[in-house]
């Protein structure tokens, strides 16, 4: 590949950079999923959309941190 001059540079990118890109791409998907599942319940209990999103956004960040650990674990097993 023209971007990576040697195999070691590509492996380093796959181990460190690619999981961050995958988490960035999955962020809206996870947020929409959590919003669609939790917002109706939170709206009934709190009747505030801002408070519901205040709960959903930290949950999204938590899920994304879990995703980045999983992606890095998978990357270590594939590109060793």
Structural domain boundaries of the chain? 15-78
pLDDT of residue 1: 54
H-only helix segments in 1-80: 7-46, 49-78
Q: Which residue did the predictor score with more confidence, 2 or 54? A: 54
Percent of the chain with pLDDT over 70: 94
Does the reported pTM lie above 0.85?
no
Answer positive or negative: Cα dihedral of 56, 24, 79, 9. negative
Check if the beta carbon of residue 52 is closer than 8 Å to that of residue 42. yes
User: Cβ neighbours of residue 57 under 8 Å, at least 6 residues apart?
Assistant: 31
Q: Which residue did the predictor score with more confidence, 41 or 78? A: 41
Per-residue pLDDT, averaged over 46-57, amounts to 92
Check if the beta carbon of residue 20 is closer than 8 Å to that of residue 57. no
């Amino acid at each position: 590949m023209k971007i990576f001059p040697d195999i070691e540079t590509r492996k380093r990118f796959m181990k460190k950079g690619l999981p961050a890109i995958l988490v960035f791409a999955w962020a809206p998907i996870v947020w929409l999923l959590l919003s669609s599942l939790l917002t109706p319940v939170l709206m009934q209990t709190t009747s505030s959309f801002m408070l519901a999103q205040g709960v959903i956004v930290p949950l999204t960040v938590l899920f994304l941190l879990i995703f980045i650990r999983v992606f890095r674990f998978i990357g270590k097993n594939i590109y060793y």
